Amino acid sequence: MNEIFVTILCLLSFGKDVTGVYRAICPTQPVEAEEGDEVTLPCHLDPPIDLTDYTSDWERVDLKEIVYSYRHKRHHYDAQKKRYRNRTTFNLDGLTRGNVTLQISSVQLDESGPYRCFVPDLNARCALNIIVVPKGQLSTSKRGDDVSTTRPPATHVTKTNIKDGENKATIAMYICLPLVAVLCIIGVVALFRRQIIRMIVEKMRGREEAKQEDEENNPEETKELKESRL
Ligand SMILES: *[C@@H]1O[C@H](CO)[C@@H](O)[C@H](O)[C@H]1NC(C)=O
Ligand SMILES: *[C@@H]1O[C@H](CO)[C@@H](O)[C@H](O)[C@H]1NC(C)=O
């Protein structure tokens, strides 16, 4: 019974631990914008989770600046670096579905760089790069989500920390998975061992019974057999 319990437990935790690791998803392609534009920094948690009660932060990675902070169920503008004041839009409706997308209005050239979305309690984070180009240098086709065409060289874009969020989630999975796997193996082995022992016991019991039956049916022959064996 214990083994069955372990197996059920490990199957349950398999489902829970693996999918229970919330990942923050950011675009891998740089987000391009023209100087003065409003730029969108997409970020959402996968699987979706209501983040109303959680802290969510956006920061400029290389400058260690808080761009936007959501704390204690409200916008926490006090923590925000002054230059982003009155320029950020954060949708509280989206937050209930794990959407922590941020918008920054009138971006400047020096705001090109890596930005990170971070939900500390879930250890979920991801980073994306913003590239701001001078006015008139972004073709209309590239406004929005289309980033397939040629783009200006990203000279002052640092690529550090871009994989940070994924690494955290991966590490959690690497710790969780072997543990769960070991538990599963122990459970399954125990189950099998029990099954095998039972089979052996039954086999032996069956043999014993057959032997007894044999002895009853043909006592002389078995006697002879026993003697010849001695
Ligand atoms: C933000 O807007 C408020 C009113 O809309 C204004 O009083 C304040 O000075 C602005 N802050 C900055 C840093 O521009
Ligand atoms: C997140 O919210 C933004 C608007 O704030 C929206 O444009 C975007 O499509 C949403 N993303 C997801 C994955 O729901």
Q: Comparing 136 with 182, which gets the higher pLDDT? A: 136
What ligand is nearest to the CA atom of residue 81?
1
Query: Which of 10-14, 42-46, 107-111, 148-152 comes out lowest in average pLDDT?
Result: 148-152
Per-residue confidence (pLDDT) for residue 16, from 0 to 100: 45
Name the band, by pLDDT with cuts 50, 70 and 90, for residue 59. very high
Candidate of 68, 77, 85, 87 to mutate for ligand 1, largest count of ligand atoms within 8 Å of Cβ:
85
What is the mean pLDDT of the segment spanning 86-103?
97
Q: Which residues contact 21 (CB under 8 A, 6 or more apart)?
A: 169, 172, 173, 176
* Ligand 1: residue whose CA is nearest its atom 8: 86
Q: Residue 203 — very low, low, confident or very high, per pLDDT cuts 50/70/90?
A: confident
What pTM was estimated for this model as a whole? 0.59
Residues in contact with ligand 1 by the CB-under-6-Å rule are: 82, 85-86
Tens digits of residue pLDDT in 4-20: 554 444 445 554 444 45
Provide the pLDDT confidence category of residue 194 given band limits of 50, 70 and 90.
Answer: confident
Mean pLDDT of the chain: 76
Alpha helices in the chain (DSSP H): 2-19, 92-95, 164-217, 219-229
pLDDT at 158: 36
Per the CB < 8 A criterion, the answer to whether 101 and 89 are in contact is: no
The answer to which of 14-28, 41-55, 125-139 has the lowest mean pLDDT is: 14-28
Task: Please tell me the distance between residue 85's alpha carbon and the centre of ligand 1 in angstroms.
Answer: 7
| Cα gap 45→24, rounded to integer Å | 4
Residue 160 predicted with pLDDT over 60: no
Give residue 69's Cα distance to chain centre: 23
Identity of the residue numbered 130: I
Sequence-separated (6 or more) residues with CB below 8 Å from residue 89: 38, 102, 103, 104, 105
Task: Name the closest ligand to CA 77.
Answer: 1
Which residues does ligand 2 sit against, CB inside 6 Å?
Answer: 44, 91, 94, 99, 101
Rounded to the nearest angstrom, the distance between the alpha carbon of 87 and the centre of ligand 1 is 10
Q: What pLDDT does 191 receive?
A: 74
**pLDDT over 90 at 1, yes or no:** no
From the list 162, 164, 161, 184, the residue with the least C-alpha distance to 18 is: 184
Query: What pLDDT is stored for residue 223 in this prediction?
Result: 54
Ligand 1 centroid to Cα of residue 31, in Å, is: 27
Q: Going from the N-terminus, what domains does the chain have, and what CATH number goes with each?
A: 21-157 (2.60.40.10)
Among the atoms of ligand 1, which is closest to the Cα of residue 85?
13
Mean pLDDT along residues 149-175: 44
Residue 98 has a CB neighbour count (10 Å cut-off) of 23
Over residues 51-65, the mean pLDDT reads 97
Better pLDDT: 216 or 18: 216
Atom of ligand 2 nearest to the CA of 97: 14
N- to C-terminal Cα separation, the chain: 44
226: pLDDT strictly greater than 60: no
Give the model's pLDDT for residue 202.
79
Angle between helices 164-217 and 219-229 (to 10 degrees): 110
Q: Phi/psi at 213 (nearest 5 deg)?
A: -60, -45
Contact (CB, 8 A) for 183 and 191: no
Q: Kindly write down the DSSP assignment for every residue of 37-55, as one continuous string.
A: S-EEE--EEES----TTS-
Encode pLDDT of 110-129 as tens digits: 999 999 999 999 999 999 99
- Specify whether the CB–CB gap between 59 and 116 falls below 8 A: yes
